[in-house]
Structure 1
Amino acid sequence: MDAISSPGESEVGPGRILAALVGSSDDYILELNALGIVTTWGGSAERLLGYRAGEMVGHDLAALVPFDRKEELPNALSRVSAGETVRYSLTARIRKDGTHLAVSEVLSPVLGPDDDLIGILLVGRDMTLHAETAEQLRKSERSATEALALLQTLQDSAPIGFGVLDQDFRVLRLNQMLGTFSGFQAHEQVGRLAGEVVPTLWPQIEPLFRQVRDTEEAIVGAELAAASPSGLGGTHHWLTSYYPVRVDANVVGVGLVAVDITERKRVEEAHKKLTRSVVGALASALEFRDPYTDGHQDRVATIASAIAAEIGLDDSVVEGIEFAARIHDIGKIAIPAEILARPGQLNLPSWELIKLHASTGADIIRGVAFPSPVADMVEQHHERMDGSGYPNGIRGEEILLGSRIIAVADTVDAMTSHRPYRPAKVVDLALAELSESRGRQYDSNVVDACVSLFEEERLNLEW
């Protein structure tokens, strides 16, 4: 069927269609002859490139091509002349003001009736925003790559172990420190079960990993000790923390951070041995000075340690109380021997002199670097809950808990041991008297713990 035109409608030729397209498009659309000379230059070309039609029609496009791309246009014209369509996804053109414009271009052959080349159609698009976005993306990728490289360097060189296990406890990631401990390169461990990687540690850490995986809550500061499977020698100590690893709010694994504290433990143990030696020497010096106290401080230390453990104090706190108890009477070394050994009741001047031993003892040991307030515990071991004690008459919670414990232990041993000024009492009677002063002179919880230990025969005075 022939096309039907409305009455009065004039024919629109291809040239006028192209002109309308050129004028309305946001892209610049140029028409070149077979030699690459501009024959049509539209409004978008003027807007984007800055040249008017009169400046470009009849000229080639060499002025628009940057020096570093000077071969681009001749190559394109040659390929188009051969019937090929040429595309540049991102290139550059020079504006009239000398600035560069990022563009994409397509050059297509225009063929005549005999399929001979009669012209070239060039369509160009402003790619400035795309180029800027691409550059930002490249910078971001470069920054991310550098950050990852830095992180990897830190992970591999830091004296801290990092690792991530999946939900089935297979290794997803491991840094070189943990890899070295296991005896392999870190990358060799990926995909292996953690129990195969660190068999000596796994029995200790498996419950921790399971707890974090199941509760989705972190565990911080768990100490572990194990022999190295890689032949590093000796027992290694670790301070470890465990964290849920989330992706899109879902826990996909458990992360581990481990610090090797073996050297710190070695130093702590050496310091502990030195401290025990100092305490032992001080205790021996007092027993040499006052034979009647022979064994008293050791017995008080045993009772005090048992009470401290009974009421749930940490091991380090129990140890500090034990140190203080073993030398709680060290201040008596400054008291004349004849007063210490005097039979019967002491007169007032002698008693006042005896009472100085608490503060004197604290002064003697205050310069020693104990890991806990041993000097203060020694000074306060004769203070009482109702303020009736000495040397400072403090009361209640003002008195260190360690001192309250030593006070009870000291009283029990003193009442059940022979002294020059009075005979020993039986344990039951001593505990009964102690209980009568419960809450008044002595801490109620401490007394209860002490009585419980003796009544349940978990502690006795058969030394």
Structure 2
Amino acid sequence: MCPQIASGGSAETSSTAAHASGGASLEQLRLTAELASDLVYQTNPAGIIEWVSPSVIHVLGWNPAEITGSPSIDLVHPEDAPGVQAVGARSYAGETVEEHVIRLRTKQGEYRWMSVRFRPVTDDRGTISAMAVGARDVHEAKIAGKAAQALAQADSALLRATGEGGLLQRVCDILVENGRYRAAWYGRPVNDAAKSVVQVARAGNHRGYLDQVRVTWGDAATAMGPTGNTIRTGKIQDCRDLQNDPKTGPWHAAAIAAGFRSSLALPVFVDGQIDGVLNVYGAEVGEFDHEAQTTLAGLADDIGQGLARLRDRAKIADALVNGVDLLAATVKTRDTYAASHQSDVSTLAMRLGQVLGLDDNQLLGLKLGANIRDLGNIVIAPEILSKPGRLTPEEFDQVRSHAEAGWQIAKRFHWPWPIAEMIHQHHERFDGSGYPQGLRGEQIVREARIIAVADVYDAISHDRPHRRSPGEARALEILTAAKGTEFEPDVVDALQQVLATGYTSGTVLKP
């Protein structure tokens, strides 16, 4: 296997050759015992195998005579060959090298993961004249470990997921990046005339495979592969030899070009119904052993549960959105100015949130919080809200109480977003000069810091019952002057960016 492994002198060389037909020198037996491996072999400095232990037939299927005299590098997987050659060179230079996990070719043309150790063999002068290599079979552990590592990372992604598309894409990415599988994709069946399967997410170096293959789930030839069978039966389909399995005939050429040797199709169920199929591809024949299948089947179950939770959350969100719309409508009936101001601030806050990198779920919460930030106005007399002149100190205190009043109402609901805090804190200021609590910096929830900028900009740039607007340009000047004091710098920067794109009030956005 190693590029340089040989016996330690001419006398040993002759006994090595003799061993190919059944004998073994004392030195070879000693090396076998010291390396304590599933198989041991030696190569000369040119990388030619001169001796191999009889156990090779049980590990890789080769008779010792079949590979004695052959270049050891021919047994190494092409992707692992450069690393093996580098380690061999270091060993010949006298370095002590660590165990190296590589793939060795079996007589059947498959590859097995082996952990190899290098042991120099010296002649009478102490010169390294050969290299002995001990190879320990770690194939099952390696394959199971790939699946387990992918599962651990994917479970974390499931907990953080806020949308179906993002969840499925992240799972595919993890299977390739952490699981080290060749490719992965998630397909959903469509009830159209062709019984199509659409790709919802995919990842990996598929070399055009996923662009050109057509997969269905009806009774056509394109439905007889792993994906179609999984959709029809609801069972895992393990294709051990993708390039030669008759059922995958329509995809053989593409699989060869992509370097796919095996695949696993796993059904994903949501509420008892099949939602789709998670397809995973390996670079080796028979890559998905029983343990790997069990682990990946657990991942498919977790995906189904994650999708179910997201859909339940979406239903709850829809109900909450409807409730917020009713609350917002109630506020509008008591304050004619609030009717347009509410929606304008909500829209601008969302634009700011997009620039600041909030995800879709956070944007939805921001939209709802901004829309009912003045919920507490329902406890304030309408004549105060619409008073054309200056407010008295008592009236101003009453207006300021709306943040506390709105929070008292909103905190009774179980929101999946910090809605109550947005209502309570949208008049707080970054430097602590706001009300009602005098919070500062990150004591204020991020959404409230965003709403504060949107609220003040919109209020200044529009006429109010008691004053005329100085204009949008002046509004931006005022916000910019307060950057880093009253308002968070990043949010003011986002406002400048949004306004530079030609934003105008009244633009409708969806989260």
Tell me which structure has the larger Cα radius of gyration. 1
